[in-house]
Structure 1
Amino acid sequence: MTEIKKYQLTAFTGFLVLTGILLYLIYNTFELMDRQYQVDLKQRLKQFYLKDLKQNIYSGGLSLVDTYLINNIRLLEKEYHKSGTINNNYSDSLLTAMFEDLRAKNPTDSLLEKTKKMHKLGSKLEYLIVINSISLRFSDNKPIPLYNHLKKYPFLKSSLQSPQGYIIGGKLKFPRTENIATSISMGPSIPYSYDITFTIFADNNNRQSQIFKSAVPVLLLTLFALLLIFSVYYLTFKSWSKQKKISDMKSDFINSITHEFNTPISTIMVANRALQNEKVFKSRESITEFTEIIARQTKQLQTLFDQVMDITRVNTEIEKKEVIFCQLLTEVIQDYRVKTNDKNVYFYTQGIHNETPVSLNRFWVTTMLSNIFDNAIKYSDKTPKEIHITVDGTPNGLRISIRDNGIGMEEYTVKHLFDKFYRGKNPGREHVSGLGLGMYYVQQCIQIHNWKLEVKSSVGMGSEILIVI
């Protein structure tokens, strides 16, 4: 993993952790508001509605239960001893009749509507009354379960048997433990009585949306904070990457230029020291040999200086003239062949006789083509080294392809190929000299001529430069 990838992973991980913390805080805030909502609702119900129930299922509810159970408890005991179980035909029919009567005579709907309007409890408030369990006590005072919400009873309506208990009234769709307004277990625990447990749930069917609306400011603030944090992360990382890139390029440039300038300077110093030797000074041939060395190395230094200075003049205005591009290309190829003087370099051309005139700066384009040829040869380990040049006419101009059989480039190298002072990390080609300015010069030349440039390359398969004029 590269260093930049490690920093990206660290930054991304940090952002995810921070996002997770904020989302957890949002969740806790939502839960807290939900609980507070339930507490407020229960307090208001107890204040305005539940106080009138006085531990009753509803007004007159327990009296109705007494009518069915207390008035028939001795008959229930008789049938119990007769059948050996509390669940017999008599008790089943009695329980069914009692539940239906409780539902039919439930006045809670009208009472709650009045309470909601009088005390502004909200039009969406709903309730649910369920009986959780009923136990009978006969002469031995032992509780015998007549009904339990954990069991299913085939003789009772299945739609009214909920996990919370048998529904006596109400339309609350999703009762939860948090929605319990009151839950009462009562019974005198004496012979010939009964124990009963019932629960009243109360909640708004649109509670979630109401809580969400109340939480909107918090959510918006959190989203803004996330966006701000992400922006700061992004800008900081982008700035850091840019500074690191500049620093790396600076280091590469210093290393490269030190190497490039050191060679001719060292050679000139050695030659100059040799000229100061009396034996060499007396030999005309030796003087000529060393002065030629100094001249060549001085010319090399001048070339390096010119290459750097050319880059500083990139954005200056240039003079353009109409030139037959293919004629210029032919001249550059011929001159380059003489310059390299390498018998292992072969140029293959196609469409080179195109007569299309192009407005260009001759010096810039000549240097650009030379730089492309230089890279094609420097970064090739093949024998022979081949450069294939194809010129195609288009309705709007020309399309030039310059393809080599070199070592090719990785995707990352292609991406940064035209960066100033950038030199790709090519294993086995560390000895190749250069300042990393050649392809930068190529891109600048393309831009000031308003042409188009594309690079295609694969490791081991060579590279192709496409120029569209």
Structure 2
Amino acid sequence: MNSFNRNIYPWAFGTSFLILTALIGFLIFNTYQLEDKNYQIGQLNLIQNEYGTAIMDDKIFPGGDAVFQAELVPYLQTWFRKVMEHSPDAQQYGKQRMEQFLASMRKKQSLDSIFYRIVRQQRLDTTLVYLFHFDELELYNPTDSTWKVFYKSANANHMSAISGSLKQGSLNNRVFQLAVSDRAPIPYRFTYSLYVDYENRNWRIIQQMAPVFLLSLACIALIVLLSYRTYRNWVNQRKLVDLKTSFLNHMRHEFNTPLTTILVSAHSLIDRETDPDNKEVAQLGRVVERQAKRLKDYFEQVMGSVALQEQRAKIVQVPLDLFTMEILHELQLRYQGEIEIDYTPLGEELLLQLDEGYYFSILDNLISNAIKFNDHSTKTIRLSWERKVEQYCLKIEDNGRGIAPSDRNALFTAFYRGQSSGGKPGLGLGLYYVKSCLDRLGWAICLGNSSGGGTIFYIYIDNGYFNSKKKD
């Protein structure tokens, strides 16, 4: 499973990065298209209005109608007849007439002076250039009442241009497209377009978008950097976790082996107690056994507190009262003669969701503290359940020393030794371990006030952790 996580992390990062990069690229491209569509739209509107005023009722430019009437209109009927009769020279004839017409228009055009006058008067950018383009010529066919295309320029370029130095026209830089029609000597109509733009339009738009583009690149670079650092930290954390787990397992083995050997040896010495010559040796054996057990308890407490962070709660459902009484019975046997344990059952057949090991450790540590920090000859601890509106509460009350007010805020802190410890041996991990187990279970604990001395703990468990016990 760990190997799977290590392998999938780079793939997840790479896939997410590619998706994010593609998304940012798509947004930048759409932004570019929008800028391209709306670029200099205000200037184009001014040019359109001023151009309409300049030519008034003429065609294309002042004097353009005369050129059109002289160079193209007289030949339209002949051209139309040749096309309708499918004459073999119809295409060549039409091509020659259009070339001659466009050449005359280019020669006599006054569009340069009109355009640059508009630029000066409206104080527009003097680097603007334009393209005047003849688009299409159509003649009316009375036979089927349709318009037949006789000439059409597919692209807005200089092949059908009348004037201007703009290399290429497009929908984004077209100022207008106008249609002119007449009925004599034959119904006809033609369209022409005006394009205005900068020769370096794309570069200008890219420059305008440079802050957005650079910011996007910076964001991508920052995401890559943060993701790389996150991945590197994750790898380092995994190494530390593996090292920590290996260390804990090694420590358990290295400590438990000599401790077990010491305890076995101590038992061997204690067994000599029946021999009068070895009574002193037996007493020493009991000292060794007692201190070895104490050392083992400390070691297990430390190992348990450290290892708890790596453990996952194994949640099962158990009968609340029955399981609690089993644990208390086991602890009563362990601490036989040291403390009296009194338990008042809840009296309801409920199943509680918990981790059995955590629950045992919670009760064990609280009872152990009730023994350790208690100066009475008869030590007692009472456990009872209370039902609240949305919770169940386990009340645990002992007759020990109690807890000083100054110790309450730091009571569940690791290695904290309060005033009430009174020099008793310990590491200050018992209540920290209790709190850690409760946090893993999702339960809460708080300290109460006891009027007669001693300590009261309240453990609160939400109703969601309980289920009604099904009867057979």
Describe the superposition over 1:61-98 as per-residue Cα deviations: whole angstroms up to 9, x where unpaired.
23311222333445546666777468266544333211
**Partners of 1:130 and 1:169 within 8 A in 2:** yes
Percentage identity across paired residues of the two chains: 24
**Partners of 1:139 and 1:192 within 8 A in 2:** no
TM-score by length of 2: 0.50
- 1:188 aligned partner, one-letter code: D
Describe the superposition over 1:135-184 as per-residue Cα deviations: whole angstroms up to 9, x where unpaired.
3348867645432225xxxxxxxxxx867972222222232222221112
CA distance in 2, matches of 1:223, 1:249: 39
CA distance in 1, matches of 2:191, 2:125: 28
Describe the superposition over 1:293-314 as per-residue Cα deviations: whole angstroms up to 9, x where unpaired.
x9xxx9xxxxxxxxxxxxxxxx
- Any stretches of 5+ residues in structure 1 without a counterpart? 151-160, 299-469
**Partners of 2:55 and 2:61 within 8 A in 1:** yes
Instruction: Summarize the Cα distance change of 1:90–1:39 in structure 2 as closer, same or farther, 3 Å threshold.
Output: same
2:111 corresponds to which residue? 108
Instruction: Summarize the Cα distance change of 1:93–1:228 in structure 2 as closer, same or farther, 3 Å threshold.
Output: closer
**Partners of 2:36 and 2:172 within 8 A in 1:** no
Describe the superposition over 1:257-307 as per-residue Cα deviations: whole angstroms up to 9, x where unpaired.
1112222222232233233334998999xx9xxx9xx9xxx9xxxxxxxxx
CA distance in 2, matches of 1:90, 1:265: 115
Instruction: Summarize the Cα distance change of 1:4–1:169 in structure 2 as closer, same or farther, 3 Å threshold.
Output: same
The answer to whether the aligner puts 1:148 opposite 2:148 as a matched pair is: no
Instruction: Summarize the Cα distance change of 1:134–1:120 in structure 2 as closer, same or farther, 3 Å threshold.
Output: same
SS of residue paired to 2:125: coil
CA distance in 1, matches of 2:255, 2:274: 26
Worse-superposed segment, 98-107 or 221-230: 221-230
Describe the superposition over 1:354-402 as per-residue Cα deviations: whole angstroms up to 9, x where unpaired.
xxxxxxxxxxxxxxxxxxxxxxxxxxxxxxxxxxxxxxxxxxxxxxxxx
Matches within 5 A, 1:259-338: 259-278=253-272
**Partners of 1:187 and 1:193 within 8 A in 2:** yes
Q: How far apart are 1:236 and its partner, in Å?
A: 3.3
2:251 corresponds to which residue? 257
CA distance in 2, matches of 1:76, 1:247: 90
Q: How far apart are 1:58 and its partner, in Å?
A: 2.7
**Partners of 1:86 and 1:146 within 8 A in 2:** no
The answer to whether the aligner puts 1:44 opposite 2:46 as a matched pair is: yes
CA distance in 1, matches of 2:274, 2:46: 114
Q: How many residues align?
A: 279
Aligned match for 1:213, one of 183, 207, 217:
207
- 1:183 aligned partner, one-letter code: Q
CA distance in 2, matches of 1:175, 1:207: 11
1:223 corresponds to which residue? 217
Instruction: Summarize the Cα distance change of 1:253–1:280 in structure 2 as closer, same or farther, 3 Å threshold.
Output: farther
The answer to whether the aligner puts 1:28 opposite 2:30 as a matched pair is: yes
Worse-superposed segment, 4-13 or 196-205: 4-13
Instruction: Summarize the Cα distance change of 1:282–1:128 in structure 2 as closer, same or farther, 3 Å threshold.
Output: farther
Instruction: Summarize the Cα distance change of 1:215–1:51 in structure 2 as closer, same or farther, 3 Å threshold.
Output: farther
**Partners of 2:133 and 2:157 within 8 A in 1:** no
Instruction: Summarize the Cα distance change of 1:249–1:216 in structure 2 as closer, same or farther, 3 Å threshold.
Output: same
CA distance in 1, matches of 2:264, 2:251: 20
CA distance in 1, matches of 2:250, 2:234: 24
SS of residue paired to 2:130: strand
1:436 corresponds to which residue? none
- 2:162 aligned partner, one-letter code: I
CA distance in 2, matches of 1:275, 1:230: 67
SS of residue paired to 1:197: strand
1:19 corresponds to which residue? 21
CA distance in 2, matches of 1:88, 1:8: 66
CA distance in 2, matches of 1:236, 1:89: 73
Instruction: Summarize the Cα distance change of 1:280–1:9 in structure 2 as closer, same or farther, 3 Å threshold.
Output: farther
**Partners of 2:156 and 2:170 within 8 A in 1:** no
Aligned match for 1:237, one of 231, 234, 237:
231
**Partners of 1:186 and 1:195 within 8 A in 2:** yes
CA distance in 1, matches of 2:16, 2:228: 12
CA distance in 2, matches of 1:28, 1:78: 50
Instruction: Summarize the Cα distance change of 1:164–1:193 in structure 2 as closer, same or farther, 3 Å threshold.
Output: farther
Q: How far apart are 1:53 and its partner, in Å?
A: 3.5
**Partners of 1:132 and 1:164 within 8 A in 2:** no
CA distance in 2, matches of 1:138, 1:192: 10
Instruction: Summarize the Cα distance change of 1:40–1:5 in structure 2 as closer, same or farther, 3 Å threshold.
Output: farther
Instruction: Summarize the Cα distance change of 1:14–1:129 in structure 2 as closer, same or farther, 3 Å threshold.
Output: same
CA distance in 2, matches of 1:212, 1:27: 11
The answer to whether the aligner puts 1:119 opposite 2:122 as a matched pair is: yes
CA distance in 2, matches of 1:178, 1:109: 21
CA distance in 1, matches of 2:36, 2:11: 37
Describe the superposition over 1:420-452 as per-residue Cα deviations: whole angstroms up to 9, x where unpaired.
xxxxxxxxxxxxxxxxxxxxxxxxxxxxxxxxx
Q: Which has the higher contact order (CA 8 A, sep 6+)?
A: 1
Matches within 5 A, 1:385-464: none
Q: How far apart are 1:222 and its partner, in Å?
A: 2.4
2:71 corresponds to which residue? 68
Q: How far apart are 1:191 and its partner, in Å?
A: 6.0
SS of residue paired to 1:49: helix
**Partners of 2:139 and 2:186 within 8 A in 1:** yes
SS of residue paired to 2:190: strand
CA distance in 1, matches of 2:91, 2:226: 74
Q: How far apart are 1:240 and its partner, in Å?
A: 3.5
TM-score by length of 1: 0.51
Instruction: Summarize the Cα distance change of 1:39–1:102 in structure 2 as closer, same or farther, 3 Å threshold.
Output: same
Describe the superposition over 1:191-244 as per-residue Cα deviations: whole angstroms up to 9, x where unpaired.
623221222222211111211222122223323333333333333333343333
**Partners of 1:137 and 1:191 within 8 A in 2:** no
**Partners of 1:131 and 1:168 within 8 A in 2:** yes
2:101 corresponds to which residue? 98
SS of residue paired to 1:177: coil
